[in-house]
A and B are shown apart, each in its own frame.
Chain A
Amino acid sequence: MSRSWRLALFILGASGIAILFFLALRTVPSSNGLGDRYAQQINSRTFPERNITDAVTAVNFDYRGFDTVGEEFILFVSVLGSLLLLRMAEERKEKLLIDAAEPWRDVGPSDATRLWILSMIAPKVVFGMYIITHGQLTPGGGFQGGIVLASAALILYLGENFAVFRNVLSRALIEALEAAGAGGFLLIGMLSWFWGRPFLTDILPLGKAHELTSGGTIALISMATGLEVSAGFILLLYAFLQENLLPSGEK
């Protein structure tokens, strides 16, 4: 189908959607009343039932923990898929041959950039761990903190080159950590089976409010998720960077 036909068909469909939208807006209820009772129940119960002050983390890892298991495994499988797709053996040999014919000079970052970047790695790691562990008290949790940790690994690559990145974060270790994170979530959920309760029930002692140990399994699940998300993103970096290796080896 040629481009103009495709566009014409699209504009037809889009105007249909727009017209239906404006007709529907007359009778849609105000958003203030949608789902109000469920939200009020959760908001009033997170503190007394779980000693958690961040309702969103409680919903994510406790009240709707089963959905989070699914989402985490979507992440796991997508990372797996990207790694598989970007693993090309014969193309690399071809590229090495062609690159060896013409020397490729890798101009690394300047000293000022390196100083600034390398001094930011430690604060980023600490900040990432802070967000992961304080997920149940303030906005944060496994997902956000995991990506902050992964960004610390990323700026290690930006400040140095790929060889240093590969030596510091060996791929086998990161893969093991990701598996530990994903499996850890499931294992913590299965802990409750030993007490005769359903999957992912919060059975550990709830701790005091406003402390890191509040919420029982929520803290543990948050840490497992943070591990998995950060390891997953570092593996994605590996997948995309795999090919940019110099022919004569590491620098």
Chain B
Amino acid sequence: MQLPASHAVLDFSGYAVAVWLFLIGLYGIVSSRHLVHLCLSLTVVQASTYVLLVIIGYRPGLPAPVFTDGVQPGSPAVDPIVQALMLTDIVVEATVVALLLAITVRIHHSAGTADPKEVDMMRG
């Protein structure tokens, strides 16, 4: 099936946004000055995977994989497996970020500061 050139543009920009988010999130983690900011840059890196998966699953012009309200069951639709992956991932990653924030609170309590550079964890 011959695809229009617009789909190539969408593909490219989707992948580009995913890589951009990944790199900028990594930059945030590397150069952060506060542990909470570090955890949230990790959120940005997670978002890059969501963008990548959405672009992979998308088919131009087709509706969502919910077969009610006029969309007949069996008609072509967007990829549902990728959406299932993303769906559980979003909820679970929020809980993991909560765990990371809990670790941040502990570090701040024992080290007195929330700056990653000042936290000297390998004290003997």
Q: Which residues of B are at the interface with A, using a C-beta cutoff of 8 A?
A: 1, 3, 7-8, 11-12, 14-15, 19, 22-23, 26-27, 30-31, 55-60, 64-68, 73-74, 76-77, 79-85, 87-89, 91-92, 95-96, 98-99, 101-103, 105-106, 109, 117
Contacts and interface: CB of A to CB of B under 8 A. Distances in A.
Nearest to A6: B30
B14 A64 contact: no
Top-8 shortest CB links A-B = A47-B73, A55-B80, A55-B65, A39-B79, A59-B84, A78-B95, A85-B102, A71-B88
Contacts of B88: 60, 67-68, 71-72, 143
B14 to A, nearest CB: 7
B80 A74 contact: no
B3 to A, nearest CB: 6
21 contacts: A6-B31, A10-B27, A17-B19, A32-B1, A35-B82, A39-B80, A46-B73, A53-B68, A55-B65, A58-B80, A59-B81, A60-B87, A64-B81, A75-B91, A81-B99, A86-B106, A137-B68, A139-B66, A146-B91, A232-B95, A240-B98
Contacts of B58: 31
Chain B interface SS verdict (over half): helix
A171 to B, nearest CB: 17
A82 B103 CA distance: 8
Given A56-B87, A78-B92, A85-B103, A32 B98 contact: no
A18 B56 contact: no
A23 interface: no
Contacts of B65: 43, 54-56
B14 A18 contact: no
A25 interface: yes
Contact of B98 (A17, A56, A82): A82
B19 A18 contact: yes
Given A6-B31, A239-B102, A32 B68 contact: no
B12 A25 contact: yes
Which of B23, B64, B68, B84 neighbours the largest number of chain A CB atoms within 10 Å of its CB? B84
A160 B48 CA distance: 38
Which of B67, B77, B95 neighbours the largest number of chain A CB atoms within 10 Å of its CB? B95
B96 A74 contact: yes
Nearest to A88: B109
Contacts of B26: 10, 14
A7 B80 contact: no
Interface in A137-189: 137-139, 141, 143-144, 146-147
Interface in A10-24: 10, 14, 17-18, 21
Contacts of A88: 109
A42 B92 contact: no
